């Protein structure tokens, strides 16, 4: 294994789509930022997800084989969550002990 750093994005998928455990990690292209909306591959379909964190990790620290790391799909540039909204979602999740995907649901724009 190499010590090469990989840019990854942690994303959350709305609980109505992915259930309570809607947190996933994807390979992130340069310029990916928290709050961005993406259509990410999930199984055989693409679903709406929001980036919650972008980080650099060593391949051996992924926790799963690199071959299973999928790239983010397509950015939806017309949709994003502002930083204060994303911070509020994290706060609600921590204070109410609910999964991030559940806390995210009421923060989503209508019909998102």
Give 32-51 pLDDT, tens digit per residue.
999 999 999 988 889 999 99
* CA-closest candidate to residue 6, choices 63, 49, 66, 65: 66
According to DSSP, residue 32 is labeled -
Cβ neighbours of 108 (radius 10 Å): 17
Residue 112 domain-assigned (yes or no) = no
- Residue 11's nearest CA partner among 60, 69, 94 is 69
The parent domain of residue 28 ranges over: 5-107
pLDDT digits (tens, 9 = 90+) for 72-106: 999 999 999 999 999 999 999 999 999 998 898 88
pTM over 0.85: yes
Give a yes or no: residue 92 inside a domain.
Answer: yes
**Domain CATH number, residue 44:** 3.40.1440
Whether residue 89 contacts residue 100, with contact meaning beta carbons closer than 8 Å, is answered with yes
Q: Tokens for 57?
A: 């990790």
On whether the CB atoms of residues 101 and 56 are closer than 8 A, the answer is: no
User: For residue 30, what pLDDT band results from cuts at 50, 70 and 90?
Assistant: very high
Residue 39 belongs to a domain: yes
Number of domains into which the chain is organized = 1
Neighbours of 39 (CB within 10 A): 15
Neighbours of 1 (CB within 10 A): 8
């Amino acid at each position: 294994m190499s010590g090469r750093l990989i840019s990854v994005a942690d994303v959350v998928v709305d609980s109505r789509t992915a259930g309570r455990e809607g947190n996933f990690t994807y390979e992130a292209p340069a310029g990916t930022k928290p709050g961005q909306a993406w259509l990410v591959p999930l199984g055989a379909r693409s679903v709406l997800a929001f980036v919650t964190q972008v980080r650099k990790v060593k391949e051996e620290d992924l926790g799963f084989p690199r071959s299973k790391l999928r790239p983010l799909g397509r950015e939806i540039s017309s949709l994003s969550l502002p930083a204060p909204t994303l911070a509020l979602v994290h706060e609600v999740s921590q204070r109410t002990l609910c999964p991030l995907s559940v806390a995210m649901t009421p923060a989503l724009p209508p019909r998102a």
